[in-house]
Amino acid sequence: MKFGLMVIGDEILSGRRRDTHVDWFRRILHDHGFSLGWVQILPDDPELLVRQLKQSMEAGERVFSCGGIGATPDDHTRQCAAEAAGVPLLRHPEAVELIEKQFQGSAYPHRIRMAELPEGSQLIPNPVNKVPGFFLCEHYFLPGFPDMAHPMGQWVLNQYYPPDSQPEWELSLRVLGASENRLMSILEKMTRNWSQLKLFSLPRMGEEAFVELGFRGKGKAVKEAFQHLQQELKQAGIKYSDQ
């Protein structure tokens, strides 16, 4: 099972804030036997957000989205999620209750806007300040703050996605003294014979140049493909070392 990740905020693209979501979600998804299928880092641009969210919703993808669900004028994610899903933005009664309880008199007139969610949304509890995230169409909308977003993402996985009983794994080796060009015929053969797996080739330049080759996938096919890769390299007289 693969998940997409959207990291939303001009501050990430400008460099004013450093992203920590990509590495964290990659690790936590791997721990559950899942993988991070793709990442998008997007600006606070409503037109672009609607377009990207509509595309992933229509494709039936599972997506975590971090950022832009606050109450300030530059927070557009709630509105864009509603437009992408084709539903109105409404005040969620339970979200209203949580925000009123947390902020009391200062909940109005501004903070209460964070209870305005796409119709049909369900809430994601926030252990830090109790202002919930939300989800619909298997899109999980979290704050941009890592100390909030990460435990909320963990809650989503624990609540709705039991760990995969047959997780994805990988095997790789380092090819020494051979370029990707020399390896091309072997790579093409491996791709044809093991199309259900993901073959990767990662060259490293410099004094200690090598090419990391390996397979990623599920089940015993990974080990079988890896053994065939080793045999092909030996037959071609190409040296390699294990990782």
CATH number, residue 45: 3.40.980.10
pLDDT in tens, the chain (243 residues): 899 999 999 999 999 999 999 999 999 999 898 999 999 999 999 999 999 999 999 999 999 999 999 999 999 999 999 999 999 999 999 999 999 999 999 999 999 999 999 999 999 999 999 999 999 999 999 999 999 999 999 999 999 999 876 777 889 999 988 888 899 999 999 999 999 999 999 998 876 789 999 998 888 899 999 999 999 999 999 999 986
Range of the domain at 205: 169-242
CATH number, residue 237: 3.30.70.260
pLDDT at 243: 64
pLDDT at 179: 84
pLDDT at 13: 94
pLDDT at 168: 77
Give the long-range contacts of residues 128-133, CB within 8 A, separation 24 or more: 129/102, 130/98, 130/99, 130/101, 130/102, 131/95, 131/98, 131/99, 131/102, 132/94, 132/95, 132/98, 133/69
Q: Are residues 183 and 139 in the same domain?
A: no
Q: Are residues 119 and 227 in the same domain?
A: no
Q: Are residues 194 and 89 in the same domain?
A: no
Q: Are residues 88 and 26 in the same domain?
A: yes
Q: Are residues 128 and 183 in the same domain?
A: no
pLDDT at 163: 87
pLDDT at 178: 83
Q: Are residues 147 and 192 in the same domain?
A: no
